[in-house]
């Protein structure tokens, strides 16, 4: 599998002046979001609320999290695949991840208590504030998507009924210098995935013509990715792109914030 120079992905500004529904700047931003997801399946988001300081703080807490003993991390369980603790799997031996099923304040509190029964206020506050910002960005994107396709009836109830799991990941350093896949090629099952990561490389995406290209979203700007759940809405024609992780001989952490529909929300959109 070869990589080529990445065509420049759209960068969309979600500054305060563009976020007032009904204004010209709101409508123009809606069009930008629609075009980016139809053509590329993703875009880079400029969201002033996610500062470099907040971005760096969350990645410092991830090191603390993954430094916990394995017997502690496996206490985080879930009935959903890959949403509990994942690690030491033979087909992805360098990959570790943990999930917060719904990254509300209560969900983050519960997650923190499982891993630190005596409490860890700094970890809780960092993850809670960061996950709320990513959920806010996801809800803005969802509203813009539905509005750009003329879907207005029911989208308030839909946005209110979505869940926002937060997955945190670590890909470890290989023992020998290699450049192999550490996580299988996949699309996400969510409506949207927001991917912030440190500038360490290792992400490749599939283009419409079937080529694979390396991509590195600049810190602290997150990448917003369209997922499979959009495909059940007949009028939406997004390009849902495959993603593959490769390792480049350095340990790195990633955060995935996802938006999943409730069991009834699709009905409210038709």
* CATH among 2.40.50.1020, 2.60.40.10, 3.40.50.1000, 2.60.120.330 for 3-269: 2.60.120.330
Residue 164's pLDDT is 80
pLDDT tens digits along 146-190: 888 887 766 666 666 677 888 888 877 666 555 555 555 656 666
* Lowest model confidence (mean pLDDT) among 95-104, 136-145, 253-262: 253-262
What's the pLDDT band for 237 if we cut at 50, 70, 90?
Answer: low
Q: Tell whether the model's pLDDT for residue 243 goes beyond 60.
A: no
Nearest residue to 130 via CA among 110, 108, 111? 108
The whole model's pTM is what? 0.80
pLDDT tens digits along 205-236: 777 777 776 677 677 788 888 776 566 565 55
Give ∠ CA 205-42-250 in degrees, rounded to 5.
45
* Lowest model confidence (mean pLDDT) among 2-11, 15-24, 126-135: 2-11
| CA 207/CA 128 separation, integer angstroms | 34
What is the mean predicted confidence (pLDDT) over 9-23?
Answer: 89
Domain range list for the chain: 3-269
Residue 42's pLDDT is 84
Does the N-terminal peptide bond of residue 220 adopt cis geometry, omega within 30 degrees of 0? yes
Residue 198's pLDDT is 63
What is the mean predicted confidence (pLDDT) over 7-23?
Answer: 86
Residue 269's pLDDT is 47
Average pLDDT of the chain is: 77
Residues 6+ apart with CB under 8 A from 81: none
């Amino acid at each position: 599998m070869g990589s080529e120079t990445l065509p420049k992905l759209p960068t969309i500004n979600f500054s305060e002046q563009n976020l007032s529904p009904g204004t010209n700047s709101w409508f123009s931003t809606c069009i930008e979001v629609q075009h980016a997801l139809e053509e590329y399946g993703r875009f880079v988001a400029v969201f002033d609320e996610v500062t470099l300081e907040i971005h760096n703080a969350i990645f410092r807490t991830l090191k603390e999290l993954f430094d916990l003993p394995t017997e502690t991390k496996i206490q985080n369980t879930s009935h959903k695949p890959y949403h509990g603790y994942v690690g030491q799997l033979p087909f992805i031996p360098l990959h570790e991840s943990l999930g917060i099923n719904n990254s509300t304040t209560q969900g983050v509190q519960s997650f923190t208590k499982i891993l630190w029964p005596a409490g860890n206020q700094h970890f809780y506050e960092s993850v809670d504030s960061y996950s709320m910002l990513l959920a806010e960005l996801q809800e803005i994107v969802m509203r813009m998507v539905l509005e750009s396709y003329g879907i207005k009836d029911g989208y308030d109830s839909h946005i209110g009924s979505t869940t926002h799991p937060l997955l945190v990941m670590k890909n470890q350093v290989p023992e020998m210098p290699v450049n192999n896949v550490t996580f299988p090629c996949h699309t996400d099952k969510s409506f949207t995935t927001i991917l912030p990561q440190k500038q360490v490389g290792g992400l490749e995406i599939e283009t419409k013509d079937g080529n694979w290209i390396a991509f590195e979203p600049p810190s602290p700007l997150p990448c917003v990715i369209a997922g499979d759940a959009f495909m059940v809405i007949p009028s939406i024609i997004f390009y849902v792109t495959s993603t593959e992780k490769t390792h480049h001989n350095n340990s790195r952490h990633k955060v995935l914030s996802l938006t999943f529909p409730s069991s009834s929300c699709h009905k409210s959109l038709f």
